[in-house]
């Protein structure tokens, strides 16, 4: 509901009298006349018959108010009621736009307070009355309930309900925030809540995507913070309101709970929690095959995934697009035995649309521990020798010396090289599969055996390619 168009700044035109408020508005006023009895003039009598426990603000001269009322004569006969119209009264008080009795009678009122006002004729419609509706010299009785009060000079009010002790960073312009909210009017009527949709409200802040009061009110919040944001109508939906839940000229209260936020420019945040007891010389790098334990949660503590659920560490080749980018980055540079905390923004995780169990645009919190690391091979290689390859490679491969090398001979030879520590296979893949792939690469005519002519080391191939290019 906040995806209003461009923010509106034209909300404070003087309220028109079109609200069809014939009677409580001042009309040709019969003021200054003596009371019928000729004695001193009576003032309006105010009976405050319901005063709410909390009253953060009382009506003052010049405030705008929204209220409901019933107007009756002394005999109880109704002459007017705001309930008979679709809109309640929304008007500025104390400046002569209402009959004087009402202007005075509303002063000092609290939201949700109920008053009975007894308005003598000279503070109402005087000795003239209103033709056909109010007889001359009528005393008027109003039952009034105040629903809203604000002033043109009001700004966004913020009060912190719960601030987490640890707040390394606060929301600022152009951050993307995910939050829950309950929206109510000043009198407590709920108009909307994010919980009814089962997901957070997500938006950029400070860019005019939301009402101006919310753009301001979210600034400076921490992750996990609960805050009450009170927004006057000129920074919300103005004199016309919106939908059927937000009336015109309404003050809005949003209780918000910040789940997370990030900036599209954010990198992965990496914090080492503990180092292994012994110094490590070699840290994980792209191409390495690693095993790691991890716990993954949302920033509000909701647990999502954990390697402990599977009883075995997760395995991955780094830099091979096998895990989300932020996790890959966060695992690089780790020592075996090190523990880290990673905060991964959504553009380096599951993005705007999320994934199974991961809400769209969610920031993820990882705790990772590197369990093992195997040196990777250069890109494109399946096997490398630690030193120079055998001088007569084909003869060594051709175990039975019949001039051809079938898969069995090839596999036997490579496995022997590995077990004798002369070379190693690409980590992270079943060795039978890797050896099978190597055989396929060498058996260039695909007849199931490798000949002397076919056999060629990748390093030589690469060199030839370079020569060709020269």
Ligand X SMILES: *[C@@H]1O[C@H](CO)[C@@H](O)[C@H](O)[C@H]1NC(C)=O
- Beta bridge partner(s), residue 92: 64
User: Residue 78 CB, nearest distance to ligand X (Å)?
Assistant: 8
Instruction: Provide the 8-state DSSP code for 405.
Output: B
Burial class (CB in 10 A: 0-12, 13-18, 19+), 261: buried
139 vs 53: CA distance, rounded Å: 31
Hey, which residues does 66 pair with through a beta bridge? 90, 148
The yes-or-no answer on residue 142 being catalytic is: yes
Quote the strand ranges of 94-139, DSSP E.
Answer: 114-119
Given 1, 2, 4, 8, the residue binding ligand X (CB under 6 A): 8
**Least distance (Å) between residue 147 CB and ligand X:** 10
Q: How far apart are CA 186 and CA 230, in angstroms?
A: 9
Tell me, residue by residue from 124 to 163, as one string, x for binding to ligand X by CB under 6 A and - for no binding. Answer: -------------------xxx------------------
Catalytic-role residue among 2, 43, 73, 79? 79
CB of 392 to ligand X, least distance (A): 34
46 is catalytic: no
Separation between Cα atoms, residue 339 and residue 387, nearest integer Å: 34
Q: Which does 238 bind (CB under 5 to 8 A by kind): Ca ion, ligand X, none?
A: ligand X
Q: Which residues between 197 and 256 bind ligand X (CB under 6 A)?
A: 197-198, 226, 238-240, 255-256
Mark the segment that binds ligand X (CB under 6 A) among 27-35, 152-160, 178-186, 356-364: 178-186
**Site map (CB under 6 A) of ligand X, residues 397-436, x = contact:** ----------------------------------------
387/370 Cα distance (integer angstroms): 29
Strand partners, 145: 68, 114
Report the relative pairing of strands 269-274 and 78-81 from DSSP bridges: unpaired
Q: In DSSP terms, which residues pair with 17 in a beta bridge?
A: none
- Looking at the Cβ atoms of 256 and 270, the one nearer to ligand X is 256
Q: Per-residue string for binding with Ca ion, 121-160, x by CB under 5 A?
A: ----------------------------------------
Which of residues 96 and 448 has its CB atom nearest to Ca ion in the complex?
448
Whole-angstrom Cα distance, residue 103 to residue 36? 22
Q: Is residue 456 involved in binding ligand X (CB under 6 A)?
A: no
Please indicate whether residue 79 is annotated as part of the active site: yes
The answer to whether 345 touches 268, Cβ cutoff 8 Å, is yes
Task: Work out what residue 69 binds among Ca ion, ligand X, none; the CB cut-off runs from 5 to 8 Å by kind.
Answer: ligand X
| Of the candidate residues 83, 95, 378, 457, the single one contacting ligand X (CB under 6 A) | 83
The DSSP H or E segment spanning 464 is helix 458-469
Stretch of 259-267, 290-298, 417-425, 430-438 contacting ligand X, by CB under 6 A: 290-298
Tell the smallest beta-carbon distance from residue 466 to ligand X (Å). Answer: 33
Choose, by CB under 6 A, the member of 11, 134, 258, 323 that binds ligand X.
11
How many residues bind ligand X (CB under 6 A)? The answer is 33
Catalytic residue among 46, 91, 99, 134: 99
373: Cα separation from own chain's centroid: 37
Torsional sign, CA 387, 392, 393, 395: negative
Could you say which residues in the range 396-455 bind Ca ion, by CB under 5 A? 398, 400, 402, 443, 445, 447
92 vs 435, beta carbon nearer ligand X: 92
Which are the contacts of 28, defined by CB distance < 8 A and separation ≥ 6? 128
103 is catalytic: no
368 binds ligand X (CB under 6 A): yes
Question: 158 or 393: whose CB is closer to Ca ion?
Answer: 393
Q: Is 249 left (phi over 0), alpha (psi -120 to 50) or beta?
A: left
Residue number, 337 or 407, with CB nearest to Ca ion: 407
Closest C-alpha among 310, 342, 312 to residue 325? 342
Identify the active-site residue in 64, 125, 383, 410. 125
Q: Minimum Å distance from CB 280 to ligand X? A: 6
Phi, psi of 294, rounded to the nearest 5 degrees: -150, 150
State the nearest-atom distance from the C-beta of 240 to ligand X, in Å.
4
Residue ranges of alpha helices (H) inside 367-430 are: 393-397, 407-419
Strands 252-262 and 226-231: antiparallel
CB 240 within 8 Å of CB 155: no
> How many residues in the chain?
470
- Find the catalytic residue in 80, 148, 215, 443: 80
In angstroms, the CA 424 to CA 375 distance is: 10
Q: Which residues bind Ca ion (CB under 5 A)?
A: 398, 400, 402, 443, 445, 447
Active site residues: 69, 79-80, 99, 125, 142
Q: Which residues bind ligand X (CB under 6 A)?
A: 8, 10-11, 68-70, 81, 83, 114, 143-145, 180-182, 197-198, 226, 238-240, 255-257, 281, 293-295, 306, 308, 367-369
């Amino acid at each position: 509901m906040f995806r209003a168009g461009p923010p509106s700044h034209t909300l404070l035109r003087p309220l028109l009298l079109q609200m069809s408020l014939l009677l409580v508005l001042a009309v040709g006023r019969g003021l200054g006349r003596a009371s019928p009895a000729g004695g001193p003039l009576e003032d309006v009598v105010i009976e405050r018959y319901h005063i709410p426990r909390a009253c953060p603000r009382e009506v003052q001269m010049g405030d705008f108010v929204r209220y409901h009322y019933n107007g009756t004569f002394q005999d109880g006969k109704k002459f007017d009621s705001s309930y008979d119209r679709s809109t309640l009264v929304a008007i500025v008080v104390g400046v002569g736009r209402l009959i004087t009795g009402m202007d005075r009678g509303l002063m000092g009122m609290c939201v949700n307070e109920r008053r009975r006002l007894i308005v003598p004729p000279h503070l109402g419609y005087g000795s003239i009355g209103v033709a056909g509706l109010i007889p001359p010299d009528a005393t008027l009785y109003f039952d009034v309930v105040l629903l809203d009060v604000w002033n043109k000079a009001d700004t966004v009010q913020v009060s912190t309900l719960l601030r987490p002790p640890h707040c390394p960073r606060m929301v600022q312009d152009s951050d993307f925030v995910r939050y829950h909210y309950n929206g109510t009017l000043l009198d407590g009527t709920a108009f909307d809540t994010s919980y009814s949709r089962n997901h957070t409200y997500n938006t950029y802040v400070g860019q005019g995507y939301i009402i101006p009061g919310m753009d301001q009110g979210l600034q400076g919040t921490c992750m996990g913070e609960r805050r009450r944001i009170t927004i006057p109508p000129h920074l919300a939906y103005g004199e016309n309101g919106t939908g059927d839940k937000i009336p015109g000229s309404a003050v809005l209260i949003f209780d918000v709970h910040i789940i997370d936020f990030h900036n599209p420019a954010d990198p992965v945040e990496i914090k080492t929690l503990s180092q292994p007891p012994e110094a490590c010389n070699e840290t994980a790098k792209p191409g390495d095959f690693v095993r790691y334990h991890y716990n993954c949660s949302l920033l509000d503590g909701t647990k999502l995934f954990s390697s402990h659920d599977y009883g075995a560490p997760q395995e991955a080749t780094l830099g091979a697009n096998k895990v989300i980018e932020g996790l890959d980055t966060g695992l690089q540079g780790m020592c075996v035995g090190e523990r880290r905390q990673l905060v991964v923004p959504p553009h380096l995780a599951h993005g705007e649309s999320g994934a199974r169990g991961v809400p769209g645009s969610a920031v993820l919190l990882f705790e990772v521990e590197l369990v093992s690391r195997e040196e990777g091979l250069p890109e494109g290689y399946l096997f490398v020798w630690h030193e120079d390859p055998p001088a007569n490679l084909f003869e060594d491969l051709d175990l039975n010396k019949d001039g051809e090398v079938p898969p069995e001979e090839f596999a036997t030879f490579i496995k022997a090289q590995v077990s004798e520590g002369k070379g190693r296979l690409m980590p992270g893949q079943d060795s039978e599969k890797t050896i099978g792939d190597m055989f396929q690469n060498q058996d260039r005519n695909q007849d199931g055996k490798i000949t002397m002519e076919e056999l060629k080391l990748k390093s030589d191939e690469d060199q030839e390619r370079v020569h060709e290019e020269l």
